[in-house]
Structure 1
Amino acid sequence: MKRDGLVGCLALYAALYGAYGCISPILPNVLAAGGLPPERIAILLAAATLVRLVAGPLAGRSADRHAATRPILAAACGLTALAVLGHLPARGFWPFLAVGLAYAVTTAPLAPLADVLGLAAARGGAAFPYGWVRGAGSAAFIAGVGAAGWLVQGFGLAAGLVAGAVLFAAAGAAALAGRDPGLARDRPVAAPGIGFADVLRLPAFRRTVLVAALVIGAHAMHDAFAMILWREAGIGAGAAGLLWAEAVAAEVFVFLIAGPPLLARIGLPGGLAVAAGAGALRWAVQAETVALPWLAAIQSLHGLSFALLHLACLGLIERTVPPAARATALTLYGTVGLGLAGAAATLASGPLYSAFHGRGFWAMAVLSLAALPLVPRLRPPSEGTTSA
């Protein structure tokens, strides 16, 4: 039973994040090739972000209310595959806006609902560490990016879209095929009394989301401007790509190997503190230098500032949120907490980078450090082993 749960989750995460790897790098190029100027692409992507903030929590609440995480996830994956293919005939702003908003609605709950299934199958680490399946997802994302590049180079943008659609459909099939004894055991058939307000009234959940919003939000300037900063410093595309790959490799290493035993030793709140400190150090160094050896040294901190943070946050949510409200909590965490924080920090990053250039990363370091005062209030009087 444990083996079946692990294999099913690995199939789900590999297909889902492989699909994201195929689609994410090429989607802006698809929009540009369809006749959209940069300002229209920005409007479309911003509108999609706003739609996700609403669609994700609504899907999570429905999954909890009807105890239907798997069917809703499978349906969302299938509809996402259709939305991806809908980009093929689209031309001009309004058709792309329609299909883009459909894509935003259907993708909003995918990762959080997959995490609901992953946590349930892992059974608090008794069956397997959740980090194994999430790390497999990150590795699949890298493979998807590489596959998309090869397909686009050989067959055009449409081939990358088709590959992504096939993988989303495969993720839906994996969601339906899996079995979660832990989910069936822990959750009632319906939970009409537990809603958004009930989840948001949980102090530990609010603090966890706020810590995550601060630490993940601090990545915004890096995601938006690091490649520009490095190029202006004379770092070639090949070296910049290797720096980015190093960060993702560190993420996979923490998810698969280092994260679970580290959290078992230092505790979930300790993991948040380490993640916040690692992020602050990373951004402080980036604010002061673009020397390649220093950049190579700090990229590995991404494994702590992102992967360890995610493991600790999900462990805290699993520990503090009732199972019948877990899909609601994870969609709030993913789409509102992280999505809204990331959007706000990205908007702030533009003026900061324009005014201070690389020194603007000091603001991101301060943002990470602002999470530290919240951590002690997440530590119970006698903390046992973690469930991440």
Structure 2
Amino acid sequence: MVGIYCRISKHKEEGKDVSIAVQKKYGIEFAKSEGMEFRVFVDEGISGRNEKISERPEFALLLNAIKNKEITHVYCYDQSRIERNNTIWNMFVSLMLEHKCKYYPSGKFLDLDVPENKFITGVMSLANELYATVTGIKVKEAIAINAKNGKTHGLCAYGYKKGNDGKFAVVEKEADVVKRIFQMSLDGLGTYTIAKRLNAEHIPTKFNQFSGNFRRKDRYTKQITTYKKENIIWRGNVVHDIITNPIYKGVRMWNGEQVPIPAILTEQHWQEVNDNLENNRKKVGKRDEYHYLLNGITYCADCASEFRGKKRLKGKDSAYKCKGKSKHYIKCNSRGISIAKIETFIIYHLFLAKGLQDFLAGLPENTEKLDELKEKISKEKKELEYLRRAEEKAY
């Protein structure tokens, strides 16, 4: 089987780099020309300079598949897709030779066991690493110079876009929303109430303009969840960040320096709203804290989303609720569960009466599933140890 590896460090302008689609196209054409099955591995938005295999998930899967003899041929558009780091290249070559896997850059076989080829690819690897390092330095310098001249790079704050001259330009439709947010805050509405109102009016967020996904790590379970950008809704913390961002009074902060840009609000109005926000926070007092017993381990039977505790000690809201219900694109019919009732039930029956513990212990084990998980854990441990040794050899 052919392993087709595709990588791009970030979204680039058309014609500036080889897209994932083009890399996949040529790889699939190669596999079909050889009459072989194929599997595509794609690392998008990941730098080839990254030395941590764990932060290149698809590349790690490719290496694992080579080790398990699932992949016998590797295709890549060119060597720079595999790496821009000499340590990674040495490890890759070592693995390919150990498992007799054939290497096809641009669809042409290259025997990595030939001394001359080892030398040439080694020099290419060093050149790739040098190119990436020098480019990184130049890009940082260019960004710094442009920023001081009022130019933007990357994603602009809500209410702004990149103008034809490369500088910040106001998006009038979004600017009107920004003005409404500030006025609602001044009128006494909380940030989460403002977010709910914007969602109810179906006002799009900045991310709604883009396709693709982004990932977020849960602070309780450490699980990484993928979200579609088109489904991102307004949240209270986003509204708070907009209100406190000095960019809307015409001040962009860059490395501790103030850079003037077109303002959406007067400095006086921005300050008035922020003072009011700070005063409201002081009136609320110290935030009550509650440590939820079941966060990260309970899930909804209706939509499989996580149940998360929500308790306001000075209010009526005190329940574990399905996170899926907060997402307008997920239909869920579950109801909240009283925190006091469910936690008391768990504590009593699991730790005091121990009836629940005995009941759970008496349930028949799914030995087939258990054995499958144990085998998977064992394989993962072996893979980690193998990668650790391979990394040591590379040095």
TM-score (norm 1): 0.21
Larger radius of gyration: 2
**Bigger relative CO (Cα 8 Å, ≥ 6 apart):** 1
Structure with the higher helix share, 1 or 2 = 1
Structure with the higher strand share, 1 or 2 = 2
